[in-house]
Structure 1
């Protein structure tokens, strides 16, 4: 597990979506954390938005971005908990064509090392839809840092070995090609 310096870095176009009934762009610390890390890693911030904890609204924003040729990845933050207003996971699953089951497991392992058994309260998830990766992270800046630093930084870097999400972009929609 290392960076292969013989490969060129490929910037990825990433949209950040904050799910919150109370935040605005001026006080969105989790969104700010993700944007800073995305840009520091050399990727492009393709879009940024905040929507309320509404399943249909979240799914509509995700669908809009997966239809955009300018977005390769969507990372959402917030709404992954257990309360009645936490519907981000359900909205993501409404959109997924395939779920990346191991993402939630790996995120839980990373979280266990930071917050112990409180990690069971997160429902972080990931999937793919129309050739776009979708990641749903908890709403805390710490969880966003952990997910980026421990998982996404490497998996969204084409140089990461033995494998990464970027190198399989061209094959995500191979089932849609005409034979």
Structure 2
């Protein structure tokens, strides 16, 4: 197997943001952690926090500062209702936004949930060369995001480009 075709395992943190979920019923976080492992990545750390922008910001900032963490997947808090505040908490931490992710996620979601996809404030970006993806809290939305978009960008064999192979250059 040539180096071009070798998969690069990444170290990813998973955060569930919810005022109602517990470790016992966190199906979205369970799904993302298992999907990462199934694709050969390592779950560096997993956490569940209430929808509190300062607690989120503190934890994600610690992960962003850790040179061993390649990326972060956040599920929950991206809607319009209640205390949803993931974008307000995490967008200020990003060095660069990846607008195409939110646009593509909403387009793919439209196929499944129609115009309700407009209510998603899913986003992605880079902070300290660490990629951050913020997804809705439903397991269905996490499955859509993973299967249709994220898994391919974390796969070092995806061409013409992917996040796994450009990450070292992001630090330059």
TM-score (norm. length: structure 1): 0.92
The alignment partner of 1:86 has SS state of coil
Asked if 1:118 is matched to 2:125, the reply is no
Q: How does 1:1-179 map to 2 (within 5 A)?
A: 6-174=4-172
Q: Deviations over 1:7-44 (max 9, x none)?
A: 10000111000001121111101001101111111111
Q: CA deviation at 1:118?
A: 0.8
TM-score (norm. length: structure 2): 0.96
Q: Is the 8 A contact 1:5 1:159 kept in 2?
A: no
Q: CA deviation at 1:5?
A: 9.1
Distance, in Å, in 2 between the alignment partners of 1:147 and 1:117 is 17
RMSD: 1.3
Distance, in Å, in 2 between the alignment partners of 1:24 and 1:41 is 25
Distance, in Å, in 2 between the alignment partners of 1:110 and 1:34 is 18
Q: CA deviation at 1:161?
A: 0.8
Distance, in Å, in 1 between the alignment partners of 2:37 and 2:129 is 22
Equivalent position of 1:177 in the other structure: none
The alignment partner of 1:26 has SS state of coil
The alignment partner of 2:45 has SS state of strand
How many residues matched? 171
Q: In 2 relative to 1, CA 5–160 (structure 1 residues): closer, same or farther, beyond 3 Å?
A: farther
Q: CA deviation at 1:125?
A: 0.3
Structure 1 runs of 4+ with >6 Å offset = none
Q: Deviations over 1:62-99 (max 9, x none)?
A: 10101112211100000000024010011111211111
Structure 2 gap ranges (5+):
none
